[in-house]
Amino acid sequence: MIAVRHVGKRYGATVALDDVSLDVAAGTTHVLLGSSGSGKSTLLRVVLGLVAADTGQALVEGVAVTPAARGHLIGRVGYVVQEGGLYPHLTGRGNVSLPAEAVGWPRERIAARVRALAELAGFDEAMLRRYPAELSGGQRQRVGLMRALVLDPPLLLLDEPLGALDAKLRRSLKVELKALQERVGITFLYVTHDQEEALTMSDRLAVMNAGRIVQTGTPREVYEEPTDTYVADFLGAANLMEVEVVAAGALRVGDFALTTHRCEAATGTAHAVIRPERVLIEKHGSAGENRVPAMVERVVFLGAATQVMLRLAPGVALQALMQNDGSRPDLAQGTPVHCYLPPDALRVLAGAAGEVPVAEEEPLVAS
């Protein structure tokens, strides 16, 4: 469906995209995840033909896309932005109908298509008669989505479509969007900086940093098998610890020995990563491998879970996430405990400690 080949883009001295290649299969949701300035929106606009690549090319259904030759995308690609990008002087029906009117669809066909989309989006006739200013944020986003789908395109590009909505509405709409994509069978290329949104929406996930795709895979692969410290730190909460690799699978944190089933670094100083939900808090004095004494520094109630901030005996800060299932120990600030770091959950990444990348700011024109 989409093939991006060695695309580069610069704005003066700023590199927005650096030799980016990407494949998006038909009928899937492929999410581009990254912080501001990572290049994800620039890449989306290259695919749409709004931005010309300096090097390389993007192809949609085998046809190269450029700003000068976007005609073949009409009716083939829909585009959704924050809050729908609606025309304020048109009603919801007028906004949805506009692309079909522009390509000369007959009135009866347009009316039938709008009715079908309204039913899909949970819109009634009264809501379609309202102007954007009379609609809620979620309703405006639904109108924008209906407008992007009115020509029944096989591909939909979505640029932070839920970014302007409140957290509760984002949670509900992202589930609805994914269900819609699966029901209709359309291909999504979806841009977001929201990690939870990316994990929920994607079939394939590409993490971007400083104009490059640093890792791509299924959501589970990227979350559980980060290739470097940037991905580990950016995608969800992660504990990054400086460790000493003594031998293959053998580590030291201060005076304490640890073992790991996943070590990609050579001997010497490296970073180990473990997700907070895999850190187990046990009674102080618990014996066994991969157990390190610690002190509870802070306990934060999150509703369904409790976040526990810990300080290991060697001075390393660590956090654990415990589900509130009624079985958690009674913890308070200053409680001595032991932390169990399971060998299968502790991963040592290649690269020297301290090499945690920092995303650069993207110029306004490239965002």
CATH of residue 271's domain is 2.40.50.140
Q: Which of 290, 280, 292, 291 is nearest to 343 (CA)?
A: 290
267 belongs to a structural domain: yes
Same domain, 291 and 268: yes
361 belongs to a structural domain: no
Q: Which domain holds residue 79?
A: 2-224
The model's pLDDT over 83-140, given as tens digits with 9 standing for 90+, comes to 668 999 999 999 999 999 999 999 999 999 999 999 888 888 999 999 999 998 888 8
Asked whether the predicted pLDDT for residue 352 surpasses 50, the reply is: no
362 belongs to a structural domain: no
Asked whether the predicted pLDDT for residue 366 surpasses 60, the reply is: no
The model's pLDDT over 163-172, given as tens digits with 9 standing for 90+, comes to 767 777 777 7
Asked whether the predicted pLDDT for residue 213 surpasses 90, the reply is: yes
Same domain, 126 and 184: yes
360 belongs to a structural domain: no
The angle subtended at Cα 133 by Cα 129 and Cα 135, nearest 5°, is: 60
Same domain, 161 and 286: no
Same domain, 156 and 248: no
365 belongs to a structural domain: no
Same domain, 51 and 112: yes
**Residue 62, domain CATH:** 3.40.50.300
Residue written as token pair 């104009």: 211
Same domain, 55 and 16: yes
Quickly list H helices, the chain.
40-48, 92-102, 107-121, 125-128, 137-149, 167-184, 195-201, 219-224, 229-234
Percent of the chain whose pLDDT exceeds 70: 94
Indicate the number of domains in the chain.
2
Q: Which residues contact 183 (CB under 8 A, 6 or more apart)?
A: none
pLDDT band at 39 (very low <50, low <70, confident <90, very high): very high
Same domain, 132 and 92: yes
Which whole number is the average pLDDT over 339-358?
A: 72
Overall pTM > 0.85: no
Q: Which residues contact 306 (CB under 8 A, 6 or more apart)?
A: 299, 300, 321, 322, 324, 328, 331
Same domain, 327 and 243: yes
252 belongs to a structural domain: yes
**Dist. CA 233–CA 237, nearest whole Å:** 7
Residue 320 DSSP SS3: strand
The model's pLDDT over 300-328, given as tens digits with 9 standing for 90+, comes to 988 888 999 999 999 999 999 998 887 76
Which structure tokens are listed for 17?
């995209």
Tell me 265's DSSP state.
S
Same domain, 10 and 128: yes
Same domain, 207 and 297: no
- Residue 346's pLDDT is what? 92
Count other Cβ atoms within 10 Å, centred on residue 192: 24
Percent helix, strand, coil in the chain, to 5, is: 30, 35, 35
- Residue 328's pLDDT is what? 64
Which structure tokens are listed for 251?
């580590």
- Residue 321's pLDDT is what? 93
Which whole number is the average pLDDT over 4-25?
A: 95
